[in-house]
Chain A
Amino acid sequence: MTPSSSARILRTLSRKNAFYFFTSVGNYTGQSAMSLEEFANKIREVETTSLEFHLYRGDFEKWTDEVLEDNILTERISAVKLLEPIGNSLRDQLYFTVSKRLEELKTLNS
């Protein structure tokens, strides 16, 4: 991976491409993330029902793959999903996965 491709993954997105956290169909929490860094922070803040809703619908993988274009993070999130975590265990595992990837990308970018 080159510094430019890591910079692309770390970029700030438009409102249209941000990730919007919902707790169920049509119920938006008011929390959104316009970058991978903000996404990592929001994982610690949003309700766990929101994390469960999106993980098992495949929304996180879809966003990291199609919007951030980070196939490594996408695969790692898929691996988390296979463990079928819920509640705070899901929050912890997801936060660990995303924040670790964030640090890798920042190092590559520096």
Chain B
Amino acid sequence: MKLKNQEVSLDTLDWQILHAIQENSKQTYSEVGRQLGVAHSTVYDRIRKMEKNGIIKKWTVDINLEKIGMNHITARMTVYTDPKESENVAKKLSEAKEVLEVSMSLSEELLIIAKVIARNQDELHSFIAKKVAPLQGVLRIRTSIVTKKIKEERFMIEKK
């Protein structure tokens, strides 16, 4: 692994390790090592370096909320803002526990797109009406409630 102008260049083994742990992050260093034909200590060292360099941002788990009785709805909220206030609006949205993702987009107007989670439509509306609409610089809001999720995957890197 080499660092060039803040960009980290990975070798083939790093890519293979990333691919293996992205498919199943629960497997041990030894299991990854066995798959790739290297020692578990090598896998450990490479992973540590990738964590240190911010390539591996976090280790997490994808919980099926319905299975544990936490019924919820998700929505895509598009917030049209005054360009002068957009950074502040995006920051405030990022701080809310109901907001899972925040991105900015510049098409014809400056937009903030956020993924919002709530227990039900009333809670969703209450959050948007009480916490988002009053933010300085919010011009209008369009929200689409997700009714059916067809696919949801993280980007999978390929083996090199």
Contact = CB atoms under 8 A, between A and B. Distances in A.
B141 A28 contact: yes
A73 B143 CA distance: 31
A26 B136 contact: no
B111 to A, nearest CB: 14
A12 interface: no
Contacts, number: 42
Interface residues of B, number: 20
Interface string A26-58: 111110100000000000000000000000000
Interface stretch (B1-9, B13-21, B52-60, B122-130): B122-130
Contacts of B125: 22, 25-26
B131 to A, nearest CB: 9
Residue from A15, A18, A25, A30 having most chain B Cβ neighbours under 10 A: A25
Contacts of B141: 26-28
Task: Tell me what chain A mostly uses at the interface: helix, strand, loop, or mixed.
Answer: strand
B69 interface: no
B138 A28 contact: yes
A66 B143 CA distance: 26
Contacts of A28: 128-129, 132-133, 138, 140-141
A22 B139 CA distance: 12
A66 B12 CA distance: 64
B142 interface: yes
A26 B143 contact: yes
Given A25-B143, A27-B143, A29-B140, A20 B124 contact: no
Nearest to A29: B140
Interface of A: 15-16, 18, 20, 22, 25-30, 32
